[in-house]
Structures are given as structure tokens and as C-alpha cells.
């Protein structure tokens, strides 16, 4: 058993969230016929923006699609280059949308920033080159910086390829904001390649910190996590970027067994132990990833997901536990933190009798450690997944207009040949905040 596991059961017996809105997101036919789906969602004052593989779509916050569906090759000006792994966030501090896209052909990450809080209007694009093929980028912003973290591979990510190490770029946020008005390229700094670490995920912030953070764990399983803290000033004349690396003991992580699903002996293909999401709030960091655990009363090890809370004030781990369900497999967690410090998350679940489905749940700030609340069914899967891989990552985002609401998006299968997948978008309200 990899850590102290908890069943997916509630403290009170009732969920702490309720559905405010849900609708179908982009599916395989609408996102370039690529598998698996790399899913990102962001929420602004009046819009919900989803990016999946090579396409994006924008809805009103009532769930009404604003046509047309967006080709990301056009949106990011990449031409016929091989693109993948989009990311998008809404920066409430500046009222701008910021997106990123991996370009295997040019070994670069394209950064797009909106000119206003309306994502249907103008955007500007910056291109940052890396030392290798910058796989699975993650992005985050602080008060004065934006950071992009990648895994560098050789051979433009065309197998056979070799992992070179992690690398990150830091962009001056003020010059990025001014990009559309003065036409000057934003100031940025690109780090050297760093070995010994895999997939150091950028930590999304909702604070006035000037620091940016990256967090990672060994992909094969181990008993530590690594945190990078990046500080300093970026300008075209000189950079004063400094990096501090910390190592924190955690409970043993183990590569998860492949999840089962009905009607087939083919299990679901999920990824290794890489950090899938991370958020910062009031000097604490929550991060999450796939793990292996054995729930009490279950004879088999299952795929679970790990939740870890790191306290930067006291420089220690304060919560570290697996979430599992007896007889089921859980996978691909994504999380966000509200303005009180409560945790919201989405994850996938399957078993021999449950098609791959989506759930959402919470851990409120005032609840006992190492627990979660009763989850809600987001969408019931209706078919078998027969693709080589399941979704690389799911996504959550807090609503900047209503701090009691978060939205989430993930993958589920429709009843067809088994390769027909869709995404689903749902927004949920913290009912503990309703008087």
C-alpha cells in the first residue's frame, strides 16, 4: 500500500457541492481526430473557454456555444507544424486570458495573450524556443511573471526519442500585457536543461506573490517531491532570475495498475506518476497525480490519486493521502482552490462494471485532514475506451465572478466503436456557502 488511503465517502453523508451548469464539450470529431484528448478549461467573467488537442471552443456562462470552433493552428499561427498539448488560464489580476501550445516542429511553445477580458476579440502570440521538443507544457502566473515548464525530448518528440530533462521559461508579465499596444517582444528568460527531475508542473497562483513555483515527483515512484522557487526580475537588458530547489519527504508513490473497464480485457492506458495539476494559495501548495493504493476491504491494488498539501511557511508537508474506491480505479485528477482555501477537483473512474466516467468533489478548508467529501457524478460513461491512451490530463478552473463556483472538464466515452470520445463540462457551487 503506497500511503494512507481513504474511501470516496463523505464526512456528513451528503455532497458539499451542487451542479450549477453542465453541457457537452468538444469531442473527437471536433478536435482534430486526435487521441488521447489533452483537455484544458478556463473561466472568465462572461465566458468558458475549452481547448482540446488542435481545437478550441468558447461558450457563454449559460453554456451557449459561440461559433465557430477555433483551429489552434490558426489561433497560434503555427501553419502546418505538428502541435499538441494546449493550456489556457484566465488571469483575474489583469483581466486577460493566457494560452500556450506545444510545437514539435519548431521545438517551441507558442504563448497567446488576449487584449481584453473578452476571448472572442483580439489576441497576440509570442513564440519561445526550447533546447529540445517541449512536451506537455504547464503554465502559471504570479504578480509579475508568467512561467512555462516543459519536458524536453529529442527528435521533435517523434519516437524513438530520449528524455533530456526539464526546462522552463519565465516571461515578464507587464511587458506581456503591453505586447499588443507597443509591438515590442516581451522580456523572457529560458533556463538551462535540468536533469534528475521529470515533469515539474507550474503551480497556478491566486495571490500577490512575485515568486513562481514548479513541483514534481519521480515518474517511477519514490518518497520525495521536488519544488523549484523562481524569483527575480526579467528585462531585455539584464535578468536577475534566481532559482531555489527544495526536496520534501512524502509517502511512497507507486506506478498505478492499468484501470479495468467493462466488456473487454483491454485495460485503460494511463500515464506515469507525473504531477498533473498544482495550485498555490496563501503560501500553501496543493498538487495531485496518479498513484497506486489498496483501499480497506479490497484485495487488489488499484489506481488512485494522490493529494498533497505543502506549507511554505513551515516548510513541510501537512496533508499527504491517496483517494481510492473499493472495487474501482480512479485516475487523472485536476484541482483548483477557491478564495477561502477549499479544494475542488475532478477525476475519472472505471471498473469491471463502470465505463470510464467523471466525478467531482471537494475538501473544504475547515474539514479534517486527509479526507474528501462525497463526490458527485459529473457524467456516466457509456462505452469502452479502446484507444492506445486515455486523456493526458483533465482540467478545473475557479469562476472569477463567483468564488463559490468552479468548472471542470474531462473525457468520457460514448456508445460506439470504442474510439469515439467526448469531453464534458460542468460547473459546481459550494452549497456550504449558501445561507
Give per-residue pLDDT as tens, 204-237.
987 678 999 999 998 888 999 999 999 999 876 6
Q: What is the pLDDT of residue 1?
A: 39
Q: Which helix (H) or strand (E) holds 173?
A: helix 173-177
Evaluate if residue 183 carries a pLDDT over 70.
no
Q: Which of 333, 330, 387 is nearest to 356 (CA)?
A: 330
- Give the model's confidence band at 6: pLDDT under 50 very low, under 70 low, under 90 confident, else very high: very low
| 80 contacts 71 by C-beta, under 8 angstroms | no
Which grid coordinates are listed for 388? 492506445
Q: What is the pLDDT of residue 5?
A: 47
Q: Which of 259, 397, 279 is nearest to 329 (CA)?
A: 259
- Give the model's confidence band at 104: pLDDT under 50 very low, under 70 low, under 90 confident, else very high: very high
Range of lowest pLDDT (131-145, 274-288, 361-375): 361-375
Handedness of CA 371, 377, 382, 387 (dihedral sign): negative
Which grid coordinates are listed for 118? 473578452
Evaluate if residue 10 carries a pLDDT over 80.
no
pTM: 0.95
Q: What is the pLDDT of residue 281?
A: 92
Query: What ranges make up the beta strands (E) of 8-46?
Result: 17-27, 39-43
Give per-residue pLDDT as tens, 293-339.
988 888 899 999 999 999 999 999 999 999 999 899 999 999 999 99
- Give the model's confidence band at 386: pLDDT under 50 very low, under 70 low, under 90 confident, else very high: confident
Cα 212 to Cα 26, 150, 194, 252: the distances in Å are 31, 15, 17, 26
Write down the mean pLDDT value for the chain: 91
Which grid coordinates are listed for 184? 515590442
Evaluate if residue 139 carries a pLDDT over 90.
yes
Evaluate if residue 197 carries a pLDDT over 90.
no
Q: What is the pLDDT of residue 14?
A: 75
Cα(296)–Cα(11) distance, rounded to whole angstroms? 17
- Give the model's confidence band at 122: pLDDT under 50 very low, under 70 low, under 90 confident, else very high: very high
Q: What is the pLDDT of residue 134?
A: 97
Give the residue with greater pLDDT, 40 vs 33: 40
Q: What is the pLDDT of residue 235?
A: 79
Cα(11)–Cα(367) distance, rounded to whole angstroms? 9
Q: What is the pLDDT of residue 13?
A: 60
- Give the model's confidence band at 8: pLDDT under 50 very low, under 70 low, under 90 confident, else very high: very low
**Could you state, in order of their start, the residue ranges of all structural domains in the chain?**
5-82+204-433
Give per-residue pLDDT as tens, 251-296.
999 999 999 999 877 899 887 889 999 999 999 999 999 999 988 8
Angle at 64 between CA 76 and CA 383, to 5 degrees: 85
Amino acid at each position: 500500500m503506497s500511503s494512507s488511503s481513504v474511501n470516496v465517502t463523505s464526512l456528513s453523508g451528503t455532497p458539499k457541492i451542487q451542479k450549477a451548469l453542465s453541457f457537452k464539450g468538444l469531442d473527437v470529431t471536433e478536435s482534430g481526430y486526435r487521441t488521447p484528448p489533452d483537455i484544458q478549461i478556463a473561466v472568465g467573467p462572461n465566458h468558458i473557454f475549452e481547448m482540446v488537442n488542435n481545437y478550441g471552443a468558447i461558450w457563454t456562462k449559460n453554456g451557449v456555444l459561440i461559433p465557430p470552433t477555433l483551429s489552434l493552428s490558426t489561433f497560434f499561427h503555427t501553419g502546418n507544424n505538428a502541435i499538441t498539448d494546449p493550456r489556457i488560464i484566465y488571469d483575474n489580476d489583469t483581466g486577460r486570458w493566457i494560452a500556450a501550445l506545444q510545437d514539435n516542429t519548431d521545438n517551441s511553445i507558442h504563448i497567446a495573450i488576449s487584449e481584453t477580458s473578452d476571448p472572442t476579440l483580439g489576441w497576440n502570440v509570442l513564440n519561445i524556443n526550447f533546447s529540445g521538443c517541449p512536451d506537455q507544457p504547464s503554465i502559471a502566473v504570479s504578480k509579475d511573471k508568467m512561467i512555462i515548464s516543459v519536458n524536453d525530448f529529442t527528435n521533435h518528440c517523434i519516437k524513438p526519442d530520449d528524455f533530456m530533462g526539464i526546462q522552463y521559461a519565465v516571461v515578464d508579465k507587464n511587458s506581456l500585457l503591453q505586447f499588443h499596444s507597443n509591438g515590442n517582444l516581451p522580456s523572457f528568460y529560458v533556463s538551462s536543461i535540468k536533469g534528475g527531475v521529470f515533469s515539474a508542473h507550474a503551480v497556478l497562483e491566486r495571490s500577490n506573490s512575485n515568486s513562481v513555483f514548479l513541483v514534481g515527483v519521480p515518474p517511477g515512484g519514490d518518497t520525495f517531491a521536488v519544488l523549484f522557487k523562481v524569483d527575480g526580475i526579467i528585462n531585455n537588458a539584464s535578468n536577475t532570475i534566481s532559482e531555489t530547489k527544495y526536496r520534501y519527504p512524502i509517502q511512497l508513490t507507486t506506478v498505478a495498475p492499468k484501470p479495468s473497464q467493462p466488456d473487454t480485457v483491454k485495460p485503460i492506458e494511463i500515464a506515469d506518476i507525473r504531477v498533473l495539476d498544482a495550485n498555490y494559495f496563501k503560501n500553501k501548495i496543493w498538487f495531485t497525480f496518479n498513484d497506486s493504493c489498496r483501499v480497506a476491504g479490497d484485495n487488489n491494488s488499484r489506481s488512485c490519486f494522490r493529494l498533497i498539501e505543502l506549507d511554505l511557511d513551515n516548510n513541510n508537508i501537512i496533508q499527504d493521502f491517496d483517494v481510492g474506491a473499493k472495487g474501482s480505479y480512479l485516475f487523472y485528477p485536476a484541482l483548483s482552490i477557491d478564495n477561502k482555501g477549499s479544494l475542488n477537483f475532478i477525476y475519472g473512474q472505471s471498473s469491471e462494471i463502470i465505463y470510464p466516467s467523471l466525478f467531482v468533489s471537494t475538501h473544504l478548508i475547515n474539514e479534517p485532514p486527509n479526507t474528501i467529501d462525497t463526490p458527485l457524478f459529473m457524467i456516466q460513461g457509456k462505452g469502452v475506451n479502446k484507444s492506445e491512451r486515455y486523456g493526458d490530463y483533465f482540467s478545473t478552473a475557479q469562476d472569477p465572478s463567483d468564488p463559490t463556483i468552479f468548472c471542470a472538464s474531462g473525457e468520457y466515452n460514448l456508445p460506439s466503436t470504442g474510439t469515439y470520445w467526448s469531453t464534458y463540462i460542468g460547473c459546481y457551487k459550494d452549497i456550504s456557502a449558501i445561507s
